[in-house]
Amino acid sequence: MIRFREADETDVAAVVALLADDVLGQGREGADPALYEAAFARMRDEGANHLIVGEDAAGRIVATYQITFITGLSLRAARRAQVESVRVAGHVRGQGVGEAMFEDAKARARAAGCSLVQLTMNASRKDASRFYERIGFVASHTGFKLALD
């Protein structure tokens, strides 16, 4: 059984470890912990930007995602939930944690008045793409990113 909750500052290191524990994350995570701690503080200050962690029965962080609530004008002024930085620890994959995580995300989105949940993922994550489609997401849009160096 996994319990999902809002992260606090004591969870930041565990979340960064999850982010770094994959092929893409190995090369881009692991900077000075103070950078992540400052970013977490900024996220909390924003109010609509939440870091969520999933704890196992022993209290270990085994999953995480970020959910941001966005109010907009399109789609009849729909409020949407943007989900990012989705990770499940390797040793619990295939045990329903990802599905439970997205049930949690949908519940939070509904509670925040959202009518849509959207997410982006790196196109190289083929297994993740199959997972998202299996739980009902539709690859309806094309996304682009531009690094601002």
Question: First vs last Cα of the chain: how many Å apart?
Answer: 42
Q: Give me the numbers of helices (H) and strands (E) for the chain, helices first please.
A: 6, 5
Residue listed under structure tokens 């009902």: 136
**What is the per-residue pLDDT across 13-68, written as a single tens digit (0 to 9) for each?**
999 999 988 766 666 777 789 999 999 999 999 999 999 999 999 999 999 999 99
Closest CA to 64 of 132, 135, 4: 4
Q: According to the model, what pLDDT value does residue 26 have?
A: 64
Q: According to the model, what pLDDT value does residue 22 have?
A: 78
**What is the per-residue pLDDT across 71-117, written as a single tens digit (0 to 9) for each?**
999 999 899 999 999 999 989 999 999 999 999 999 999 999 999 99
